Every structure is written in structure tokens, then in C-alpha cells.
Amino acid sequence: MKAMNRHTFEETVKCELTMTTSARNGIEKITKDEHAFFAMQKSFYVHIEKRPENQQGSQAFSFFFDPEENVKLKDLLDGRVPVLECIVKNDGFLATGFHVRGKREPVATNRRLRATMKFKLGKSSGISLPIDFATLLRELPIAEERSEYVKKRIGGWEGYLRIMEKNADVEDIHARVKSVSLSEDFRQASIRIEGLPGKAWRTLIGFSAKFASMTYDLGNVINADKKTNRIDVELKNNAIQSARKTGLLGKDFESIVFSNFAELSQVRRLRRGFKDLQDGLAANANLEKVLFEERPVVKITNRREPLEFETSLNEFQQEAVNGAMNANDLYVIQGPPGTGKTTVISEICNQAVKAGLRTLVASQANLAVDNALGRLLNNQDIRILRYGRTESIEEEGRKFIEENVAEHWRTQTLEAMETQLKQHSQLESTLLTEEEALQQKSTVLLEQRSKLLEQQKQWTEDNEKLRTIEQEMKEVQLKKQELQLAVEKNITEKKSSEHKLEETIHEIKRLENLLTGISTANRSELESERTQLKERIELLKTSQSLAEMVAQVDKLQTSIDDAIARSESYQSALTKLTTIGKLNDLKDLLDQVEFVPPPELDHKMTELIRQIDRIQEVGGEESFTAWSDTVARVDKAIITLTKILEEHQFHNRIRIPKGFRNRHSLQSIQETVSRVGRYLVQPSVKKTLSTTSFSVESYDCLENLTKAVGLLHDRKNFISAFLLEAQSTTSLFEDIKKKITDVFNENLSTLTAKQKGLQSQFDQVNGQLSEVQHLSEETSSPEVIAKVLSELEVSHESISKTIQEILETENTLKVTEKNLENAHEQRETIEDSIQSSSNQASEQSERMNVLDSMLTEKLMLEETLTQSLLNDPAPLLTEIAQAEKELEQQLEIVTKQLANVPAIQSVQKTWHQMLTDASPYDLDEIRKLYVKHANVIGTTCVASARKEFVEEYPVFDLVIIDEVSKATPPELLLPMLKGKKIILVGDHHQLPPLVGQETMEEFLEEMPDDEQKKDMERLLKESLFERLFRTLPKQNKTMLGIQYRMHERIMKSITPFYNENGYELICGLPDSDAARAHHLETNLIRSDDHLLWIDQPNTPDFYEAKPKGGTSRYNESELSTIRNMIQDLDQATEKAIEQGKLPVNTKKQVGVISFYGEQVKRINQLIQEELRTDHLTFRTGSVDKFQGMEMDIIIVSFVRNHGEASGEIGFAKDYRRLNVALSRAKELLIIVGSSSMFINKPKSKTTRGMYQKLYDEISSQSGIRTLNESVT
């Protein structure tokens, strides 16, 4: 089972392991403690599964201890499986749990990593896990997730199993036998029974029947008819034997038991397959993805090793074999009828054997398995084993069943011995010749070797020479390169010199031209003209400015007036200022003279306003005198009171405050003084104060007075402060006024100065004005003047410019003359350098020639040497050495054989004899050996899941499944699980799996509409095979496109089914007419006809019928056509033999097939009882049964022909069934049926089209025959 693992990590991994209590508790259930457990073995074989991360986000793993490989554990636990749950911690693992699972627990799965572990218990020692190992761990899939994925997807396949177990009933059913009727050939027994529960009748078909007292199974129930109390059983071989002796009569046969155990166990096996896939037990871990993903991802291989084929294959077959051998995971081969699927399978087996691989050939049906095995080469290296129940294995497979393989082997070996023994007489001479030949060969080899050795010597020398030459060449090359560089440089220099020379000459020319063109015109004339112009312009400009000057004078006059006015207003303001006592008046005054105070002054004024406000707050209205009076009063009151207090020795208590506490109005202060006065004049006070004696009253009174003194002082202080404030306000005001005065005075003086300036300006301008007025005679308007002026200015400018130009030209002339001189000099220099470059170039070219000739010489030498070195004798020498060795061995064998010829002969004779006489024991030993080394094993899909088989062969390198389209996905899954690589071969255009007599689709139609039915319909719409063929990448599939069975014209009837996706079916017979000639001629058939339709009218005389009580159909008219046809064919064969067209003992194989069982039965009867044919052999059957067969001639009876509106054609509407029916014949295919029924009546347009196409094809081959027609 090791092969199941995804990966194996080969080295032993040391890892740290710390334990949680929970894990320790688990371990302590089986050993003393964890130390005891891990000390049991040096290392442990484990299978590591990745689990989902735990809640803390730690990566979790389960270690499954292999129950077989861990010997000590096996002893301890008797094959049960210990599981250690771990999380990754630091550099090792932390065990979080430990438990033991049952014996059946699978340990190796394709989702686990197999490894050998040494666990180090305890604290971290800092050794980390090997990187490769850690990587493999990280890459493991999370097994639970994969399992869930598979579970979800495979759930869709449940429907198949449901259909299979539809009537499953585990209970056996018993019945009494009333009578038994055996068929003619004893293959079928019809049994009348009683005592069967009514319900059971419906479920009985498919059950196995067995007489209660017999040990063997009778066979399977194929029919159960409740009305007649009768069942039909298809007898197995040993039941047939028994029936021939006993007739199945007597007391042993009175009670019968029906059981569906076989079917149920089959369903169980299939379900087990689901589970295995889910548990990761597929040999190929990619299988689940291949099966379930819409676009299966398979590993890509580009490497294609060419194969040597054992059989001759066409290009498609070669591609299929190559593809199958080189593909990874899966390869799909679509094989239409007759395209050599079995040949391909056989060749793949050969190739697999050569590659040392073990192959499983599986199919849904035994027949296909046996066919494939039967075609394999008779080659001792291929050891074929046919696995299955002997009785169900067909003739072709018989010799490969386990009990026969030894016999098969013996036959093969005996044949080999006989061949050798036959040759014994010639053996000696043969050996002698062989020996001689070998010796000759040996001499040749020796000669070759000495030659080669010489060659090698030469070679080595040459090699040395080559090296030297190469070195020399390199040097020359280098020199050449240098020279090349120099040459290039020289050329560049020369070129640039030449370029420069050209430029210089050009320049000289240009300068000479220039010199002739320059003339110095009359400069002084121009200059005097310019002066005149200038004067005139000045004059004009003056007169133009006259008006401006007048305006300026006016403006100055106004400014002077304004300045005078302002001076005056300032002066008056200054006089007023001295008398102003109030701020508001001051402000008004300032406004009058539009004076904006400077910031400092403005600030002061604001301060003044604030102070005034404060004063007014307490009584700014009162005059200063009122305040002085009050002070006097307060002082007086203070003195009075102080005096009183002194008298009473109380003045010490007086507290004279500094400053004051609140501001008070004048009035309130006066009131306070008055209140003190009033207090003093109160009689009680007076009285109290009159004496100096001390009393409470007096104390109170004195206390009051003390307070009053404090109060008065407070007021006094306030007043002083207030008066100080008022005084400062006054001085501030005065200060402001003074400042303003200063500013005004300043302004005034400025104004005066300005006025004076203006006056002088005025005088000057006025003077100019008068002067101008005097000068200017022009009286023209300013516009005219302006115009003239501008004209004059323009001409003045142009003259100035001309003068400038002349000046410049003169300069240029000078420069040019100088340049010309230079240029001439330069030309000489350049011409010199060019000359020297040329000299150098010729010298260089000479040198180059020398180098080149040297190089050519060396190159030639090199070429010669390389050529001779190409044939390195070294590998040849090795080869020869190898060949010599082989030869020596061969010679040895031959010499030995020669010496031993008599001994060999005797040994081989003994061997032959012993083998002939081999006892059953001998054969049994050989059987064991054979089975052990079997490399191609054949079985049915379902049998591949049998327990014994799985134990013997758990895994195959290659699993080839044939007739894939005939198996359901669950059936296919079973062999697929076992294959590292899987090859599917089939044809999805032929019939799909059958349930009884019907296809799944037909079966489904009868099912009630429910969810499951819809599921199944979806799945059936495209089979697994079809889907894989559609979606796999090109390198994982192919279609076999050449068929060899049918005459090309017969093939034409099915080509429409295969024209898809760029594939097409072609005929591989090089000459169909020759290879598939039937040589028959009748009334209806010409010898070049291969495809015929004997058309039946769609009229009541030709209609189908149903047998009494039956559901199947037959058609009497078609039967009669077939009867005539067979007789004609027999006669025609006879005639052809007489004419020598066919060999004397020819018997044409004729298959007569139909869509309907009842018709087949009647055809059978016709052939067996009515017709005697000498030159034909027959096989009859339903179309479905004929899948996979081929015959010379096929007659297909369509049966359906009626007038009902439904147009129902039943089984015949499935194109796959029609395809099978049409593709069985090699030489001649004859359709018997009503074309107007099949082309016109069916409801489905597709069906009508399908038959129309067929009709048209046959018609184009002139193959339509109406009844009573004759071609002759």
C-alpha cells in the first residue's frame, strides 16, 4: 500500500516533540508514559496528514503510525493504528492528542506524507526540521478539505447506484417449485413456482436463483411473469451439467431461493469505491480532479520518446500508443468501430511490459477483457493473468485464468524447448559458425581498435596543433583588429581633413566674393544731411510741446493758489488752537483743515478720551473747586475725629489705608462726611464721648469712629488720586494741542516752501513758454506737425542706419581680408595632412594584406584540423571496448555451449520430459511463480474491487479500461482507483450502459419525475468518457481515425456520427473492393453492392405486431424478406464457389440482428428450423448484444412499421444503437425496413434527419430495393 502515498520522505527525520497533558494521558493508556512509548523503537514509520489550522492559526498534523511496519507497535496494539495529533511548534511539534484507531483504518493515502521519524522528547535543542521535509509538509493538501470536495462531487453519482439497487432487498425470497421446463440447449430453465409474495414478482429479475438443497447457484432470473407464475433462469455451467443428468426434477429441487446478494454486493463494492476516492486511496492523487473538474488539469509531458512497436500500426494507432505511454495521469482513446482498439490495447500492454510496468486491463464485460487478452502477443515476457469467476470467462481468456496459467506456461515453454531440440542436430554446426563469426568479429574489432588508437594519437597531436594555431590566429586577429582600428582612424582623419579643406576653399571663395561686393559710399554727405534733419526735428518737437507747456503753466498756477489757501487755513487754525479747551472742539478744528493726525498723536488722543471718560464716570461734571472743597471738608473731618480718638486714647487703632478701595462720586463722598458729622452730633454719641471712661457703648462708638477715620482717609486718598488724574488729563490735552501746533507749523512751512517751488517752476515754464511762442513760427495744427515730425524721424533713422551699416561694412571688410589670409594658410596645412594620411593608408593596407594572407593560411589549417578532429575516436574506442566485452561474453557462451552441446542436449531433453510429466504440484508451483510475476492482468471493472484481488494487486502502473462507454462512472471508478496512469478506450457513439435490456436513458423515462431523475438526466446527457474526450488537452487524447472492418461504402453509413471536432473516419483498406468482395449475386444484390436497403411499404400488410401478452414486437413481412434473402445468399455463395470465386469450403458468416427481442427469437426459429443452408453460418441477436462483433454479412431488421399517429420507433431512435447496427458488417450490410416509416413518421426532426441521411447515402450507392424488384 506504500504506493498510495503522495510522497515518501526517504531520510529519517529527527524532530523535537513536546507533550500536552492530553496527549500524555492518551499515551499512558497504552504504555507507562510517553518516554516508554517513544523508546519502543528507534524510529517510527508514520503517515502524516495535514489538518485544518487550529483556532490559534497553528498548522496541525496527524501522525498515523503504520500498523504493519512498526513492528513493536504491531505487537503491542495488534494492528490497531495509533494516531498522534500535533501542531507545529518552534522547530518541532507539540503533541496535542493521542488515540488509537481500529485495524481497518487506512494509513497510507495519497494525501499523506510517508516518513520515518525519530522523536526527541523534551525541550528545544534548536535543531530544525529538514527543509525538504518541511516543504513537503507544507505542500500537503488538507485531507479533510479534499475529502469534502470529493464527497460533494461524487454525490452526483448516487443516482447510478440508486438505479442499480432500485429493487434491492436484502432478504432472500423463498418459493415452492411446481414444475420445471428446460430449454432445448439446457441453458435456460422455465420454472413454475408458487408461494411467492405478490410484491416480490416485480423485483425478481436479476436475482440469482438457487435450489434450497443445492450448493451451487442455478443462475440469474431473466424473466418473471406473475400471470403464469413462471420465471426464466439463465443457467450457469454447472447447473447445465446438473440439468442434463437430473432434469432438475426430484425432491432435491422442490424449493427455490432467490437472492440479490450478488447485485447488492456489487453495489456495495461500487459504493466502497466512492468512499476510497473520498478517503484519498486512489493510486493517482490527481484522479479526483480528473473526474470532477470541468477542465481536468493533467500534468504535461513534452518529452516523447520514440517507441519501437511490436505490431504494425497505422499513424493513429501509433499516436495512441505513443500518447498513452507518454501521457501523465490519463489518456483517452476514442475508437470508432473497426479501428483497431484491441490492437492498440495489445500494443500498449507490450510497451508496458517492455518498460517493466504492471498493467491492468479492465472492462465492464468479461467478453471485452477476454478479447483484449486474447490478442496479446504470445510472448514469454508477457505473463497474462485473467482474474474472475471461471464460468463467466470466455474461451479467449480461459488459458489465462489462474488455474490454467501454469498449463499455458508449460505449453509455451515446451514449444520453446521443442524448437531448440529440433535445432539440436544443427546446433553444433550453428555454434561453430557462430563461434567463427564471433572470432572474426573479434579480429575485426581488434584491427579497428589498433587503427583507432593510431587515429587517436594523430587526433591528440592534431588537437595540440589546433590549439597552437588557434592561439596564433587569435594573436593575428588581435593585430589585425588594432590595424583595422588605426586604418579606420586614419580614414576618419583624412575624411575630416578633406571636409575641412573643402570648407576652407569654399570660405575663401565666399570671402573673395564678399570683398568685391563691398563699397564705401559717401559718408560725410550723409552725416551733414543727418544733422540738418536733427535740427529740424528738434524745432518741430518744441512747437509740439507748446500746448503742453501752456497747460502746465495753468496747472502750476492752480497749485500755487491751492497752497496759499491751505497756508491761510493753517494759520487761522493755529490762532484758534490756543483758545480751544475741549477735545471735541479740537477735533472739529482738525477736520476743518482736513488734518489726519499721525499715529502717535492719534494714540494720545484715544488715551485722552479714555481718561476723560474715567473722570466723567465719578463726576466729571463737577468743577475742580468743588473737589478741592470736599478735600478740605474731609481733611477737617479727619482732624476732628483723630482729635476725639486721641482724647480717648483710641488713636492707636486707626488704620490709615494706602490708596483707596473704590471710586466714588463727589456727592457720595460729601454724603459720607455729612454722615460722620451727623453721627457725632447724635445725643447718645455726644454723651458717650463726653466722658473718657470706658464702656461698651463707648468702645462701640470709638470703634465706629476709628472705621470712619479709615473711611475718610480712603475717600481722601481717592480724591487726591482723582485730582491727579484730572490734572494729568489736562496736561495731556495741552500736550496734544502743542503737538498739533507743532505739526501745523511744520505743515505750514512745508506749504510755504512748496508754494515757493511752484512759483519758481511757474516762472521758468512761463519763461520757456514765451520763448517758445516766440521761436515757433509754425502755426500749423499739432496734428500736422506730428505727421511731419514722424516722417522726418523716419528718414533720420534710415540715414542713421545707413551710416551705421557703412561703418559695419568697413569693419567687415577688414575682418574678411584677415580671414582670407588665414584661410589660405589653413588650406596649405590641410593639404599637407591629407598627403600624410594617404601615405599612411597605403602603408597600412600593405600590412593588412600581409595579416590577411597569414590568417587565411591558418584558417585553412584549422579547417583541416577541425575536420580531422570531428571524428574523435574516443567514444568509438569505448564502443569498441564495450562491443569487445559483449563479444567476449557471447563467445564465451557459445564456446561453453559448444563444449556443452551434448550436455545441453541432454539437459534440454530432460527438461522437456520433466515438463511434460509435470505433476499438479509442479504446475501449482509454477502457477505461484507466474502469478507473482504476472504483468498483464485482466478482469472486469467490478471484479477489480474484490477483496482478494485488491490484496494481491493493490496498485497498477497502468490501468487500461476498454469499452468505457458501456460502463457507468461508478463502475469505471473501481479500476481507475488502482492506476497510477489510466487509459480509457471506448466509443461514445456506441451504446451506453444498459439496465437490463434498456439504456439508462430509456430506463429513466420510466422513472417518476423528481430531483434525482433530473440529476441523472444531466449526467447522462454527456457521459464521463465523452466529457473527458471533449475537455482533455490534445496530448491526452486521440481518436483512431482509420477503420479496417467495413467496406468503404458500408462505412459511409456511419461517418456522419464521427465528423466532429476536426476528426473524421476514413477507410484503411487499401482496396475495399478487393479486400471486402463478397462475390455474391442474387436478384437483388450485385457483386459490387455493399450497402442495401430492402424497403418495406408503410401499409397495413407490412405492419409490425406484438405477441400475445408480450411487449416486444415482430414483423412478419420482414421475416419473410429475410427468409428469401438468406436462401438467395446461400445459393449465391454456392454459385460463387462453383465459379471458383470463393474457396471450396467457404462459409459466409451472417449476422441477423434486430432492435426487438421478439423478432430475434423468430429469426432464430427461422434459421434453426426452416432453413438449411450449407454455405452460411449464423449468429443472431439484438443490436445491443452485437456491439463489439463483426461478421461478413449483416442483415438488420428494423421491425417498426405502423400507421399510428405517434410515429414511435422505439429503440431505433437512439443514434448510437443505429450506429452499432450499421457498423458490424465487413462485406455486405442489408437493411430490411420501411423507409417511409423511419424517414417520415418519427416526431423528432433529428431522428427523421438521421434516417433520411442514411437513406440518401444508400440511394447514392444505388442500394435502395423495393420488394419484388430485381436488379438482373
Q: How far is CA 295 from the centre of its chain?
A: 12
Let me know: does 369 contact 361? Beta carbons within 8 Å: yes
**Cβ neighbours of residue 278 closer than 8 Å, sequence gap 6 or more:** 147, 150, 151, 154
Does residue 249 belong to the site contacting another protein (CB under 8 A)?
A: yes
**Among residues 779, 1172, 1205, 1272, the one that binds another protein under rule CB under 8 A:** 1172
> Which of the ranges 287-295, 568-576, 918-926, 1197-1205 carries the binding residues for another protein, by CB under 8 A?
918-926
Does residue 216 belong to the site contacting another protein (CB under 8 A)?
A: no
Does residue 908 belong to the site contacting another protein (CB under 8 A)?
A: yes
> 1060 forms bridges with which residues in the sheet?
1063
Place of cell 591558418: 858
CB of 1120 to another protein, least distance (A): 16
**Among residues 51, 89, 101, 192, the one that binds another protein under rule CB under 8 A:** 192
Let me know: does 677 contact 641? Beta carbons within 8 Å: no
> Which of the ranges 59-67, 142-150, 179-187, 628-636 carries the binding residues for another protein, by CB under 8 A?
179-187
Nearer to another protein, 380 or 531 (CB): 380
Q: Would you give the binding string for another protein spanning residues 715-754, x where CB under 8 A is met?
A: ----------------------------------------
**Distance between CA atoms of 947 and 104, rounded to whole angstroms?**
13
Does residue 686 belong to the site contacting another protein (CB under 8 A)?
A: no
Does residue 664 belong to the site contacting another protein (CB under 8 A)?
A: no
**Among residues 788, 904, 1189, 1267, the one that binds another protein under rule CB under 8 A:** 904
Q: Is 297 helix (H, G, I), strand (E, B) or coil?
A: coil
Nearer to another protein, 538 or 1169 (CB): 1169
Nearer to another protein, 395 or 1169 (CB): 1169
Helix count and strand count (H, E) for the chain: 40, 29
CB of 403 to another protein, least distance (A): 15
**Distance between CA atoms of 244 and 183, rounded to whole angstroms?**
11
**Distance between CA atoms of 597 and 583, rounded to whole angstroms?**
14
C-alpha cell at 1036: 491526452
**Among residues 60, 81, 87, 918, the one that binds another protein under rule CB under 8 A:** 918
CA nearest neighbour of 692 among 645, 640, 642: 645
Nearer to another protein, 185 or 777 (CB): 185
CA nearest neighbour of 661 among 703, 715, 613: 715
Q: Is 395 helix (H, G, I), strand (E, B) or coil?
A: helix
Q: Is 193 helix (H, G, I), strand (E, B) or coil?
A: strand
**Distance between CA atoms of 556 and 762, rounded to whole angstroms?**
6
Does residue 885 belong to the site contacting another protein (CB under 8 A)?
A: no
Nearer to another protein, 520 or 889 (CB): 889
Does residue 237 belong to the site contacting another protein (CB under 8 A)?
A: no
> Which of the ranges 238-246, 430-438, 1058-1066, 1236-1244 carries the binding residues for another protein, by CB under 8 A?
238-246
Element (H, E) at 1265: strand 1264-1266
> Which of the ranges 359-367, 822-830, 901-909, 1068-1076 carries the binding residues for another protein, by CB under 8 A?
901-909
> Which of the ranges 237-245, 440-448, 484-492, 950-958 carries the binding residues for another protein, by CB under 8 A?
237-245
Does residue 194 belong to the site contacting another protein (CB under 8 A)?
A: no
Instruction: Give the C-alpha distances (Å, rounded to integers) separating 1103 from 404, 1067, 1110, 1115, 1204.
Output: 52, 37, 17, 7, 10
Does residue 911 belong to the site contacting another protein (CB under 8 A)?
A: yes
C-alpha cell at 75: 505487537
**Distance between CA atoms of 162 and 210, rounded to whole angstroms?**
26
**Among residues 182, 196, 961, 1254, the one that binds another protein under rule CB under 8 A:** 182
Let me know: does 235 contact 218? Beta carbons within 8 Å: yes
CB of 451 to another protein, least distance (A): 32
**Distance between CA atoms of 1028 and 296, rounded to whole angstroms?**
8
Does residue 355 belong to the site contacting another protein (CB under 8 A)?
A: no
**Distance between CA atoms of 882 and 899, rounded to whole angstroms?**
25
Nearer to another protein, 484 or 906 (CB): 906
Nearer to another protein, 123 or 227 (CB): 227
Nearer to another protein, 831 or 1170 (CB): 1170
> Which of the ranges 75-83, 183-191, 298-306, 830-838 carries the binding residues for another protein, by CB under 8 A?
183-191
Rg (CA), the chain: 65
**Distance between CA atoms of 1219 and 989, rounded to whole angstroms?**
7
**Among residues 444, 656, 859, 907, the one that binds another protein under rule CB under 8 A:** 907
**Distance between CA atoms of 736 and 1234, rounded to whole angstroms?**
139
State the alpha helices, DSSP H only, in 917-979: 920-933, 947-952, 969-977
Q: Is 117 helix (H, G, I), strand (E, B) or coil?
A: strand
Q: Please give the DSSP secondary-structure letter assigned to residue 40.
A: S
> Within 10 Å of residue 686's Cβ, how many Cβ atoms?
11
Contacts with another protein by CB under 8 A: the residue count is: 53
Does residue 955 belong to the site contacting another protein (CB under 8 A)?
A: no
Does residue 1168 belong to the site contacting another protein (CB under 8 A)?
A: yes
CA nearest neighbour of 937 among 972, 961, 973: 961
CA nearest neighbour of 1264 among 1225, 1236, 1245: 1236
Q: Would you give the binding string for another protein spanning residues 383-422, x where CB under 8 A is met?
A: x-----------------------------x--xx--x--
C-alpha cell at 231: 420465471
**Among residues 875, 1169, 1270, 1272, the one that binds another protein under rule CB under 8 A:** 1169
- Find the binding residues for another protein in span 921-940 (CB under 8 A): 921-922, 925-926, 929, 932-933
- Find the binding residues for another protein in span 1137-1166 (CB under 8 A): 1161, 1165
**Distance between CA atoms of 647 and 1173, rounded to whole angstroms?**
182
**Distance between CA atoms of 748 and 567, rounded to whole angstroms?**
6
CB of 910 to another protein, least distance (A): 7
CB of 1127 to another protein, least distance (A): 12
CB of 935 to another protein, least distance (A): 9
> Which of the ranges 184-192, 579-587, 742-750, 1201-1209 carries the binding residues for another protein, by CB under 8 A?
184-192
- Residues engaged in binding another protein (CB under 8 A): 179-186, 190, 192, 230, 243-245, 247, 249, 380-381, 383, 413, 416-417, 420, 893, 896, 900, 903-904, 906-908, 910-911, 914-915, 917-922, 925-926, 929, 932-933, 1161, 1165, 1168-1172
